[in-house]
Amino acid sequence: MTSRINWFKYSSPSTFYPLAGRLAPWFFVAAALFTVAGIYVGFFVAPTDAQQGEAYRIIFIHVASAWLSMFLYIIMAFWAGVGLAFNTRLSSMMASAVAPTGALMTFIALWTGALWGKPMWGAWWVWDARLTSELILLFLYLGFLSLQAAIDDPRRADKAGAVIALVGVVNVPIIYFSVKWWNTLHQGASVSLTRSPSMAATMLIGMLLMALGFWMYSIAATLLRARCIILERERHSEWIGQLRESRQ
Amino acid sequence: MNWGSVSAFLAMGGYGGFVWGSYAVTAICIGLEIALLTARHRRLRRELRGG
């Protein structure tokens, strides 16, 4: 039995719109479950840190949002690049749908970093390589969004945005490796693929649960926003006219 | 169990403002994003039905 799914079917906005509508609630539910579990482990199971006391519990949001801020940028650049190369309109819509959530994750990473930096380093902000490159990431997201907003023709806005998105990708490895390449105040990676984590197992589990929760949330928010963008851009097409009668 | 009482939990070993400031702002941001997206989608559907 070889029944293959026709993935190209889902590259059309008219089939993706109801699919996204069916999937989004499940991702919201998964996000809520992982986040509640992550907060439970983070506050009630993970022990007090020997050096940082209770202040370290900011890590559960900080690391999750920082990971997502970088990961979502790569996803955004990927979809923008696919849209630019193949002129597929859903790909470009996906890039636009990811961007605000990516910017939000970047803001949360910077905000929680400031609130963690103040008690530990004595400063809300330092012009350190890690912090500065993360701030540049926020400006890249905002640049992408404002450039798209400034161009009336959506297809041209997609192309211009894709150029920013693709050029900016170079910043992601800079953020990731900044703590190795430069002598920074920011601590090194707590989790890496090549060595065992430098933290208690329960802290790590809490962090991973929160990261999964934020990940599921980002997918859900992106799907919801993609639905809005599809309706905005395709409102004059025939299938939207048919949609009017359905309740999907 | 890390906390002997609710006030100890809220105090976070003296770092309450920093810890809860992080969690509260994150919760507000995410709540706001969901509310804005839901409202945007509802408005679009209403406009489509209207004509």
Q: What is the pLDDT of residue B3?
A: 85
Largest separation between any pair of C-alpha atoms in chain A: 64
A244 interfacial to chain B (CB closer than 8 Å): yes
d(CA A88, CA A82): 7
Between A112, A217, A235, which is nearest B48 by CB? A235
d(CA A170, CA B30): 28
For A122, counting Cβ atoms within 10 Å of its Cβ (0-12 exposed, 13-18 middle, 19+ buried), the class is exposed
- Which tens digits make up the pLDDT trace of A61-86? 999 999 999 999 999 999 999 999 99
Closest by CA position to A235, among listed B37, B39, B40, B47:
B47
Report CA-CA distances (Å) from A189 to A134, A177, A179. Answer: 15, 9, 8
C-beta separation of A211 from A67 below 8 A: yes
| A107 membership: H or E segment, kind and range | helix A89-121
Q: What is the pLDDT of residue A1?
A: 44
A83 belongs to a structural domain:
yes
What lies within 8 Å, CB to CB, of A101 at 6+ separation is: A72, A218, A221, A222, A225, B33
| Residues of chain A found within 8 Å of residue B14, distances taken between Cβ atoms | 53-54
Please judge whether A54 and B13 are an interchain contact, meaning their C-beta atoms are less than 8 angstroms apart. yes
Higher pLDDT, A155 or A241: A155
How many Å lie between the alpha carbon of A57 and the closest alpha carbon of chain B? 7
- Which tens digits make up the pLDDT trace of A1-12? 455 656 566 678
- Kindly provide the ipTM of the predicted complex, given to two decimals: 0.94
Please judge whether B2 and A57 are an interchain contact, meaning their C-beta atoms are less than 8 angstroms apart. no
A12 belongs to a structural domain:
no
A214 belongs to a structural domain:
yes
A97 interfacial to chain B (CB closer than 8 Å): no
- Which tens digits make up the pLDDT trace of A12-38? 888 999 999 999 999 999 999 999 999
A234 belongs to a structural domain:
yes
- Residue B1: pLDDT band by 50, 70, 90 thresholds? low
d(CA A217, CA A219): 5
A10 belongs to a structural domain:
no
What average pLDDT does this structure show over A88-103? 96
C-beta separation of A44 from B2 below 8 A: yes
Closest by CA position to A182, among listed A130, A137, A134:
A130
Q: What is the pLDDT of residue A235?
A: 84
C-beta separation of A112 from B22 below 8 A: yes
Between A48, A112, A227, which is nearest B22 by CB? A112
- The DSSP 8-state label assigned to residue A50 in this structure reads T
Q: What is the pLDDT of residue A205?
A: 94
Full domain range(s) for residue A165? 32-44+55-247
A193 belongs to a structural domain:
yes
Number of domains in chain A: 1
Distance of CA A227 to the CA centre of its chain: 17
Query: Of A142-146, A175-179, A200-204, A243-247, which has the strongest mean pLDDT?
Result: A142-146
C-beta separation of A73 from A201 below 8 A: no
A27 belongs to a structural domain:
no
Other CB atoms within 10 A of residue B26 CB:
24
Compute the Cα dihedral for A155, A160, A164, A169 and give only its sign. positive
| Residues of chain B found within 8 Å of residue A111, distances taken between Cβ atoms | 22, 25-26
Between A47, A57, A104, which is nearest B29 by CB? A104
A100 interfacial to chain B (CB closer than 8 Å): yes
- Which tens digits make up the pLDDT trace of A191-227? 766 666 667 888 999 999 999 999 999 999 999 999 9
Please judge whether A58 and B22 are an interchain contact, meaning their C-beta atoms are less than 8 angstroms apart. yes
Tokens read off for A122: 């004595």
Q: Which of A43, A44, A52, A57 to mutate to test the interface with B (most CBs of B within 10 A)?
A: A57
Q: What is the pLDDT of residue A12?
A: 86
How much of chain A exceeds pLDDT 70, in percent? 91
C-beta separation of A209 from A38 below 8 A: yes
Distance linking the first and last C-alpha atoms of chain B: 58
A120 belongs to a structural domain:
yes
Q: What is the pLDDT of residue A245?
A: 64
Q: What is the pLDDT of residue A24?
A: 96
A243 interfacial to chain B (CB closer than 8 Å): yes
| Residues of chain B found within 8 Å of residue A55, distances taken between Cβ atoms | 12-13, 15, 18-19
Q: What is the pLDDT of residue A117?
A: 94
